[in-house]
Structure 1
Amino acid sequence: MSRSTKDGTTSSAITRLTVDGATLLEVAPADYAHLLGLAPEHLHDDRYRPPVTSVLQVWELLTAKAPWPEVARLLVRRSHLGALGVWDYVLTSAPTLLDGIKDASTHLGVMADVANEAIEVVENGRQVTITHVSRADSSYEVACARRAYCLGLYQRRLSEAARRRLVPVRVSLAAETPRDHTPLVELYGTRSIDFKAPLSSITFLAADLCAPVPYAAPGLSVLLRRQAELALDAAIPLHNWLDVFRAAVRAAHTEDGMTLCSVARRLGLSPRTLQRRLEEHGTNWRDQVEDVRREQITHLLRNTDLSMESIAARAGYADTRALRRAVQRWYGHTPAVLRQSLTAATRKA
């Protein structure tokens, strides 16, 4: 699955954090539980990527409950090391803090929607400025809260890597001066906060960011960056109802058998209603099962040494002859020939 298919989605980790904030601010679950990608089976499984639109709606509920500086402070406090998955460790395990934030920028896609979010790092003599760029379509209050949160998150992770609290030289926020910015002073540990800036950024002394990270393990950073790449490649984006349906088909195929009734039960629908929903999306049960099997078989041929008998059994085929007929129909090649071509293409990449 190409990286572009992840555009418009974000990690389940950042989604869980946002929902955690909603719980703390006593937002009624009924106000957000129905949103796409927020079902428990998606929210608590790091393979899935809910749509950004769902997460932004939860942010809207947060900023309706509390001023945006308080929302930003609350979520940074809840963002303990590890809460955002492998991205946290990519940032904190590099040889220097500067390397860490640059790596975090490169691998931001594992946590956020890089079609609309970016981290820019500029070295300027004795200072390093980290800018959070966001093009996500949101209300003013939400935009302010998210920018302030991201800067606070970067400061917290850098401080955790340094094993001491780093105090920024200054913080600049693309926001009007709030009525009370005490939460921001507490968040950043400084009163040097500029408002009405063109972009939101946080600036540190270069000496703080260029010093070696205490207890950094040689080679660990390389492994974590690779893990971030693999996690993003394997992620399942949930753009619409059809994506949610396909996720239910995959789960049913793995756990309790890929039948119309079992998938309908997972989705809380009757089999008849499920069939009708599929028709509304221009597809049907048989074609979707075929797609899931093709996806699984292709993955197994490319990435494993399993025998054809094992692959046929895992895909739900009676024998290798049924597997051969299916692969021949999809690709015009036998499974053995397809495996050779897929393996060769992977090696070249």
Structure 2
Amino acid sequence: MAEALTTRTNGELDSIVLSKFLLTAAAANGADPDRIAREAGVPDWALAEDEVTIPARRTMHVWELVERALDTPDSPVSIAGLYSLGALGLFDYLFVNAPTLGAAMETSTRYLHFITTNGRFALHTQDERETTFSFHYLEGEPRQVELAEQFALAVLCARSRGVTGTPVHPLHVGFSQRAPRRHANLADALAAERGVDFGQDRATVTFRTADLARPVLGADPRLGAILSRYAATLPPPPPADWRDQFRQALDTCLAEGPPALDHVARRLTMSRRTLQRRLAESGTTWRTELDAARRRQADLARRTGHPTNASLADRLGYSDPRSLRRAVRRWSAEESDERGEGGGPTAGA
């Protein structure tokens, strides 16, 4: 079986911008993006960001759920039709500011990790007449890989036409998947002169070598050089630190009302038991984190206003103002110990 269809557990990552684009495209086709995100395990906090990564298996699950929601075997083609340059951030801007189509392809092979560490796009073979690129995924269930592979090559072919402003068509496109019963729409989207084949070792797309010398319309060579130097200094977008994201979710829940373990677990799209286990693995507990969150919120409230003890106690989920006062005394004592003052607690509330 092709490597693209092999499920691995090595922790491949995708930029969140990819899932955000897929969910936006699904919504444009009538699907419920919030439900898809929840079912795929893409948390709310991630969708509010652009510079974090999530496990690639979640993005792959999004593909499967999008197809189910749209109820069409051509969902990758329709979603590719909604793609516009810029949707994938820096990765796209490097492409459109390369001097030639060949240079744009080279940036894609070099910087694909900005979008995914799960995919591999590389120069496969080249001579004076034809140039072939290969593409495959490391992680994903067979149908998930098929959908993602179709989308990736459809977008690549559309980008090639779009940036040159000419009818640059691939000579041939091949897929690692078995031939579907109907693939006319996919073939039309790819517009490969020698057609589309299936059952290859991995996906490939072949262009005329001469076409790769075509200039990219509107490219700014100086900007392209600046972006390339900048991109060369960047590591892949880092995975969001789980504990930081938990604390963000806890702070949000605390601002909305009395905090509850179940509420935070739902926000992080995990079960109560899983959340407790993750906290234990991080060397902390729900009570410890809740106390720290209340302390952060109390400090913020006092810096930005003059709340009464009663209103602040209610906001932080304490049963009465006396409970808040006891907590403030304890926090003050802890601060004194941290500073090594050893003084007695102060009645700060």
Scaled by the length of structure 1, the TM-score of the pair is: 0.67
Q: Give 1:86-105 correspondences, 5 Å limit.
A: 86-105=90-109
Of 189, 192, 205 in structure 1, the residue corresponding to residue 191 of structure 2 is 189
SS at structure 2 position matched to 1:237: coil
Cα drift, residue 92 of structure 1: 2.0
Cα drift, residue 183 of structure 1: 0.9
Of 131, 134, 138 in structure 1, the residue corresponding to residue 137 of structure 2 is 134
Cα drift, residue 101 of structure 1: 0.8
Tell me whether 1:18 sits opposite 2:22 in the alignment: yes
The answer on whether the counterparts of 1:107 and 1:225 sit within 8 Å (CA) in structure 2 is no
Of 67, 80, 86 in structure 2, the residue corresponding to residue 82 of structure 1 is 86
Tell me whether 1:246 sits opposite 2:244 in the alignment: yes
Cα drift, residue 46 of structure 1: 0.7
Q: Deviations over 1:198-253 (max 9, x none)?
A: 221111111111233334322322222244456645x3414xxxx3441354x69x
CA distance in 2, matches of 1:220, 1:81: 16
Q: Give 1:55-66 correspondences, 5 Å limit.
A: 55-64=59-68, 65-66=70-71
Between stretches 212-221 and 93-102, larger displacement belongs to: 212-221
The answer on whether the counterparts of 1:97 and 1:210 sit within 8 Å (CA) in structure 2 is yes
CA distance in 2, matches of 1:244, 1:267: 21
Distance 1:183 1:267, change over 3 A: farther
CA distance in 1, matches of 2:138, 2:234: 24
Cα drift, residue 94 of structure 1: 1.1
**1:283 matched to which residue of 2?**
283
SS at structure 1 position matched to 2:120: strand
**2:112 matched to which residue of 1?**
108
CA distance in 2, matches of 1:269, 1:52: 34
Of 241, 251, 261 in structure 2, the residue corresponding to residue 262 of structure 1 is 251
CA distance in 2, matches of 1:193, 1:101: 20
CA distance in 2, matches of 1:177, 1:66: 19
The answer on whether the counterparts of 2:40 and 2:65 sit within 8 Å (CA) in structure 1 is no
**2:56 matched to which residue of 1?**
52
Distance 1:38 1:212, change over 3 A: same
Q: Give 1:258-337 correspondences, 5 Å limit.
A: 262=251, 264-265=253-254, 270=259, 279-284=279-284
**2:126 matched to which residue of 1?**
123
SS at structure 2 position matched to 1:107: helix
Tell me whether 1:213 sits opposite 2:216 in the alignment: yes
CA distance in 1, matches of 2:129, 2:144: 33
The answer on whether the counterparts of 2:171 and 2:206 sit within 8 Å (CA) in structure 1 is yes
The answer on whether the counterparts of 1:32 and 1:58 sit within 8 Å (CA) in structure 2 is yes
SS at structure 2 position matched to 1:183: helix
**2:177 matched to which residue of 1?**
175
CA distance in 2, matches of 1:90, 1:49: 20
2:104 maps to a residue whose letter is G
CA distance in 1, matches of 2:222, 2:121: 24
Identical-pair percentage = 20
**2:207 matched to which residue of 1?**
204
The answer on whether the counterparts of 2:40 and 2:62 sit within 8 Å (CA) in structure 1 is no
2:172 maps to a residue whose letter is R
Of 47, 55, 58 in structure 2, the residue corresponding to residue 43 of structure 1 is 47
Q: Deviations over 1:235-292 (max 9, x none)?
A: 3414xxxx3441354x69xxxxxxxx63553799826677956643342277998xxx
**1:33 matched to which residue of 2?**
38
Larger radius of gyration: 2
Q: Deviations over 1:127-179 (max 9, x none)?
A: 1112112121213x222221111111111222222122311111111222222
Corresponding residue pairs, total: 273
Q: Deviations over 1:28-50 (max 9, x none)?
A: 443432544341x4214211212
CA distance in 1, matches of 2:339, 2:14: 38
CA distance in 2, matches of 1:267, 1:205: 58
**1:345 matched to which residue of 2?**
none
CA distance in 1, matches of 2:58, 2:255: 21
**2:295 matched to which residue of 1?**
none
Q: Deviations over 1:306-348 (max 9, x none)?
A: xxxxxxxxxxxxxxxx9x989xxxxxxxxxxxxxxxxxxxxxx
Of 1, 7, 12 in structure 2, the residue corresponding to residue 8 of structure 1 is 12
1:247 maps to a residue whose letter is Q
- Alpha-carbon RMSD across the aligned residues, in angstroms, is 3.6
Distance 1:268 1:48, change over 3 A: farther
